[in-house]
Structure 1
Amino acid sequence: MTTFDDRKDAFEKKHAHDEELAFKATARRNKLLGLWVAEQLGLSGDQAETYAKDVVAADFEEAGDADVIRKVQADLKAKNIDISDHRLHAKLAELLEIAKKQIAG
């Protein structure tokens, strides 16, 4: 039974590690999205960093990306900036790949 238990423990540790990396990558992606949207809004420096943190925090409202998209769309619309949900989802996918690379290296 020891070999089975060792394999089970190793699998559980790997799963936990993978989940942690996925969480970090998503948070980094959201920050990158926040910085990109901040640029669209004309924010820079500390204002852009603060906005990016707000985007990261918005992701804790519900599972999935809908809360992040909803937050940035509301902010963009408030400034009469029209960026489609499709473009935002594409940007999220692009930024996730960048975030994964940043975390890995």
Structure 2
Amino acid sequence: MSTDAFADREKGFEAKFKLDQEQEFRAQARRNKLFGLWVAETLGKAGAEADAYAKAVVAADFKKPGHDDVIEKVHADLEATGKAIPEERLKVEYERFLTLARKQIAEEAPKG
């Protein structure tokens, strides 16, 4: 393989990696929003109030590394309103929404 072909292939892999990383970031942000809307519904919020809550859940993910901060936030919010959901159930739903978000992002991606 020539040096030019190798360099082109390397650039292609780098571009794919970058795209995959961007899509995963978008999927995680969407997951947080979907999860926030689900929790908002459980809390009895609707419309603009539910949207605001979902944005707060998205923002919670930036407080510390990992995603435990999101689970901790919604768990505390649910407990504070007497609508507690076990953390294990929240984690299952959180993963379910990641799967859904990844599917949505993939469907939105330009084909080609």
Q: If the length of structure 1 is used for normalisation, what is the TM-score? A: 0.95
| Cross-structure match for 1:91 | 93
Aligned length: 105
What value does the CA root-mean-square deviation take over the aligned residues?
0.8
The one-letter code sitting in structure 2 at the alignment partner of 1:100 is R
2:4 matches 1:6:
no
Q: How does 1:57-76 map to 2 (within 5 A)?
A: 57-76=59-78
| Cross-structure match for 1:45 | 47
* Counterpart-to-counterpart distance in 1, 2:84 and 2:50: 19
Deviation of 1:64 (Å): 1.6
| Cross-structure match for 1:55 | 57
Greater Cα offset, 56-65 or 46-55: 56-65
Deviation of 1:101 (Å): 1.6
| Runs (5+) with no aligned partner, structure 1 | none
Percent identity, aligned pairs only? Answer: 51
Runs (4+) off by over 2 Å = none
Computing the radius of gyration from Cα coordinates, the structure with the larger value is 2
Q: If the length of structure 2 is used for normalisation, what is the TM-score? A: 0.90
